[in-house]
């Protein structure tokens, strides 16, 4: 199979001036906490997306990809939200935000190739925005810090594409390190690279891509986010992060009965679980993270209501086959499940998940193990 440079030559008839890679991510724990100013603990996947690029001097952008619809062409001049077809929105958004914030970037030919399973909630969109920012700034001679690239990429999604996501995915894409998990404080935006050496402890991280059609994703995500923001206003805090575990019961009593209480309970308890998971990683007690993953899943299923039947089936099957813990990962409404397993249980858990899907009449899931991998970087 041709690499990104060869594909670029095929598409554009000349060589690229640089190639950048940005990984997908999975989140170990800390779900729907980022836009509440809370904590998350993602890792980068070995699967990544590459952008091969070269400058153009006519202000035009041309996009080619084997995986994404296109090709597309647009001019930077007059670029505005809604001005490009959906298939070009993430890259156009990344360039738009750079121009908006006064970065001098010009025309580009861009070729995208990806091994990140698309539509599975593994942050292809964050990887695409980050890699496009890196390519454009790299070729036009000013390279922002990784944290700044993450912020620009998030703004591209928020303000150009119209997805109200938090900063977790872009931070993982830019800042994750090989063999480590990224402890992210989404209020201060400080990060700590935490030990996550699965092999040393004889464990593996199983990823089950349920391939469940992701239903209602955007509206339901925005709905969860605005419930949290409303609750924060009632509780007179700037973000739910400020409500801690010991204050939870009193806080819940101040909220109307029903789903808002449940959403708040999830966010507050999930932040506590992240902090506990980080303590355990630091103490080399990885096995004990398992029950926290399962507790996170129960909270996301019952209180945050972002799970679906395929996801619950994968979690239950993995646990019944001996996984130390399992949960939905990412925004939800489909997507992937992770399970922490003793390495000798990988096969048994994989087979159990496949059998449970077959029994329920679901399409076959994709199951693989993931090692924590490096964040985005220039390849050539």
Return the active site residues.
169
CB of residue 40 vs ligand GAF: minimum separation in angstroms? Answer: 7
3-state secondary structure of 194: strand
Residue with tokens 């890792």: 43
Measured in residues, the chain has a length of 380
CB of residue 50 vs ligand GAF: minimum separation in angstroms? Answer: 21
Complex with ligand GAF: residue 62 or 225, whichever CB lies closer: 225
Q: Which of 309, 308, 237, 311 is nearest to 267 (CA)?
A: 237
Complex with ligand GAF: residue 54 or 168, whichever CB lies closer: 168
Binding to ligand GAF, residues 46-105 (CB under 6 A): none
Complex with ligand GAF: residue 169 or 209, whichever CB lies closer: 169
Phi, then psi, of 180 in degrees rounded to 5: -130, 160
Give the one residue of 11, 12, 22, 31 binding ligand GAF; rule: CB under 6 A. 31
**Binding-site size, ligand GAF (CB under 6 A):** 11
CA distance 153 to 94: 6
Complex with ligand GAF: residue 148 or 197, whichever CB lies closer: 148
CB of residue 351 vs ligand GAF: minimum separation in angstroms? Answer: 29
Complex with ligand GAF: residue 36 or 48, whichever CB lies closer: 36
- DSSP conformation class of 318: H
Handedness of CA 151, 125, 228, 247 (dihedral sign): negative
CB of residue 303 vs ligand GAF: minimum separation in angstroms? Answer: 14
3-state secondary structure of 104: coil
Give the one residue of 21, 23, 34, 350 binding ligand GAF; rule: CB under 6 A. 34
**Residue 330 binds ligand GAF, judged by CB under 6 A:** yes
CB of residue 217 vs ligand GAF: minimum separation in angstroms? Answer: 9
331 to 350: interface string for ligand GAF, x by CB under 6 A? x-------------------
344 burial level (CB within 10 Å; 0-12, 13-18, 19+): exposed
CA distance 131 to 141: 15
3-state secondary structure of 342: strand
Binding to ligand GAF, residues 219-248 (CB under 6 A): none
141 to 180: interface string for ligand GAF, x by CB under 6 A? ------------------------xx-xx-----------
**Residue 19 contacts residue 322 (beta carbons within 8 Å):** no
- DSSP conformation class of 373: B
Phi/psi-derived region of residue 13, left when phi > 0, alpha when psi is between -120 and 50, beta in every other case: left
- DSSP conformation class of 363: P
CA distance 47 to 124: 10
Give the one residue of 35, 74, 90, 333 binding ligand GAF; rule: CB under 6 A. 35
CB of residue 358 vs ligand GAF: minimum separation in angstroms? Answer: 29
**Residue 209 binds ligand GAF, judged by CB under 6 A:** no
Residues 6 or more apart whose Cβ sits within 8 Å of residue 121: 214, 329, 330, 331, 332, 334, 335, 336
**Residue 117 binds ligand GAF, judged by CB under 6 A:** no
Binding site for ligand GAF (CB under 6 A): 27, 31-32, 34-35, 165-166, 168-169, 330-331
């Amino acid at each position: 199979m041709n690499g990104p440079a060869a594909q670029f030559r095929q598409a554009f008839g000349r060589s690229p001036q640089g190639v950048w890679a940005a990984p997908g991510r999975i989140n170990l724990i800390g779900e729907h906490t980022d836009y509440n100013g809370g904590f998350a603990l993602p890792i980068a996947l070995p699967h990544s997306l590459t952008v091969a690029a070269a400058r153009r001097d006519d202000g035009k952008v041309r996009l080619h990809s084997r995986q994404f619809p296109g090709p597309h062409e647009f001019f930077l001049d007059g670029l505005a939200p809604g001005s490009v077809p959906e298939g070009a929105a993430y890259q156009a958004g990344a360039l738009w935000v750079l121009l908006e914030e006064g970065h001098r970037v010009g025309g580009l030919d861009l070729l995208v190739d990806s091994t990140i399973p698309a539509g599975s909630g593994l942050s292809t969109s964050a990887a695409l925005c980050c890699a496009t920012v890196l390519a454009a700034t790299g070729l036009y001679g000013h390279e922002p810090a990784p944290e700044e690239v993450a912020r620009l990429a998030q703004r591209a999604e928020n303000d150009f594409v119209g997805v109200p996501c938090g900063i977790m995915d872009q931070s993982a894409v830019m800042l994750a390190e090989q063999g480590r998990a990224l402890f992210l404080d989404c209020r201060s935006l400080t990060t700590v690279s935490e030990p996550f050496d699965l092999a040393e402890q004889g464990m593996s991280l199983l990823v089950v891509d349920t391939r469940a059609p992701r239903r209602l994703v955007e509206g339901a995500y925005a709905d969860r986010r605005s419930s949290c923001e409303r609750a924060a206003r009632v509780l007179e805090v700037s973000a739910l992060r400020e409500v801690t575990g010991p204050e939870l019961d009193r806080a819940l009593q101040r909220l109307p009965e029903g789903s808002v209480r449940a959403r708040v309970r999830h966010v507050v308890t999930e932040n506590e679980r992240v902090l506990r998971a980080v303590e355990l990683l630091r103490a080399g007690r990885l096995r004990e993270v398992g029950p926290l993953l399962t507790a996170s899943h129960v909270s996301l299923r019952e209180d945050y209501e972002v799970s679906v039947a395929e996801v619950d089936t994968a979690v239950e099957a993995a646990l019944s086959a001996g996984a130390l813990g399992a949960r939905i990962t990412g925004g939800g409404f489909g997507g992937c499940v992770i399970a922490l397993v003793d390495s000798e249980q990988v096969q048994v858990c994989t087979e159990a998940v496949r059998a449970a899907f077959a029994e329920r009449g679901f399409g076959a899931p994709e199951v693989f193990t993931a090692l924590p991998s490096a964040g985005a970087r220039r390849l050539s």
